[in-house]
Amino acid sequence: MKLVILGGTGLIGSYLSKNLVKKGYQITVLSRWKEGTEGSIKYVRWNPETIGGWLEVLANQDGIVNLVGESIMGYWSNAKKIAIYQSRVGITQKIVKALEKLEDKRPNFLIQASAVGIYGDRGEELLTENSHSGTDFLANLAKEWEKAGMTATNYGIRVVIIRTGIVLAKDGGFIANLLPITKIVRKVPVIGKGSNFIPWIDIEDEIRAIEFLISNRDMDGIFNLSAPNPVTVSELSKLIAKTITGKERIFHIPSSIVKLILGDLGKAILASQRVIPKRLLEAGFAFKYPTCESSITHLLT
């Protein structure tokens, strides 16, 4: 199968491309800076702001996976918010425009990134793909992002929206951010009380779920990509602490300080989302790491 991964140099994309290549997929990655060949993965430079030579790269492929997105980490100034929005909504619109232009050379499917941030801050409510969305910045962003991706259905393309939770991996994202400080102070930092639910997913299951959705051609629409057992931030942090230090030791950083340093990102980090991957479970997808104990053990021991 021939696949192009846009934004394939990031945390999810690099795991995905390496994994799919091993399974015999022909992978091309579009990147703003990387080019050449690494193993059997081909990297092609693109400027996602304008439709250029990369249009031809998308031609006659079986599918494309769009993982493009400016990191949401850092202080949310107006300029940062615009970059977060433009790299998701603006570039997805551009990609769909390119797909329209391809006419009879269009791919069969588009796997389109989105995030569980679409649900907003929802306390202990169980959230499935049918739950209504939130109203904050990340929720509105995700709504526009998904809408832009879904437009590709107008051109006969199967669209799968992957609403991903916080990806747990050894070398990137949530865990990698915690490790340095935890190793020094022998405690895991928790922002606020830590009573908010975190919709996490092990990187291996994230990749397995994407491949599942690629292979099952009758599947389309929205899928939550998060483990079936969401836990609170405190529970997850205590588990990480116990695995690294032998003791469930955490320390709390007052949420007011985090909001001061990170602006609206601070509020977003404190949001509670108790997400269930209802559609994946109904489709028969079996999580390899359904509990955070199984995921943390495999990642950190």
Ligand X SMILES: NC(=O)c1ccc[n+]([C@@H]2O[C@H](COP(=O)([O-])OP(=O)(O)OC[C@H]3O[C@@H](n4cnc5c(N)ncnc54)[C@H](OP(=O)(O)O)[C@@H]3O)[C@@H](O)[C@H]2O)c1
The sign of the torsion formed by the CA atoms of 145, 79, 48, 63 equals: negative
**Does 173 help bind ligand X (rule: CB under 6 A)?**
yes
**Does 31 help bind ligand X (rule: CB under 6 A)?**
yes
Nearer to ligand X, 174 or 248 (CB): 174
Nearer to ligand X, 1 or 11 (CB): 11
How many residues belong to the site for ligand X (CB under 6 A)? 25
Can you list the pairs that 264-268 forms with residues at least 24 positions away whose Cβ atoms lie under 8 Å?
Answer: 264/76, 264/81, 264/136, 264/137, 265/72, 265/73, 265/74, 265/75, 265/76, 266/191, 267/121, 267/136, 268/72, 268/117, 268/136, 268/137, 268/138
Tokens (6 digits) for 244: 């690294």
Tokens (6 digits) for 220: 């389309």
**Does 115 help bind ligand X (rule: CB under 6 A)?**
yes
Smallest separation, CB 77 to ligand X (Å) = 15
Smallest separation, CB 163 to ligand X (Å) = 8
The sign of the torsion formed by the CA atoms of 202, 204, 206, 212 equals: negative
Tokens (6 digits) for 100: 């329209």
Binding segment for ligand X among 61-69, 124-132, 185-193, 273-281 (CB under 6 A)? 61-69
Binding-site member from 164, 182, 226, 272 for ligand X (CB under 6 A): 164
**Does 13 help bind ligand X (rule: CB under 6 A)?**
yes
Whose tokens are 């939770």? That residue is 165
Nearer to ligand X, 83 or 262 (CB): 83
d(CA 188, CA 248): 9
Binding-site member from 20, 58, 64, 67 for ligand X (CB under 6 A): 67
d(CA 33, CA 54): 13
Nearer to ligand X, 85 or 155 (CB): 85
Binding-site member from 70, 211, 220, 264 for ligand X (CB under 6 A): 70
Q: Could you list the residues that contact ligand X (CB under 6 A)?
A: 7, 9-13, 31-34, 48, 67-71, 83, 87, 91, 113, 115, 164, 166-167, 173
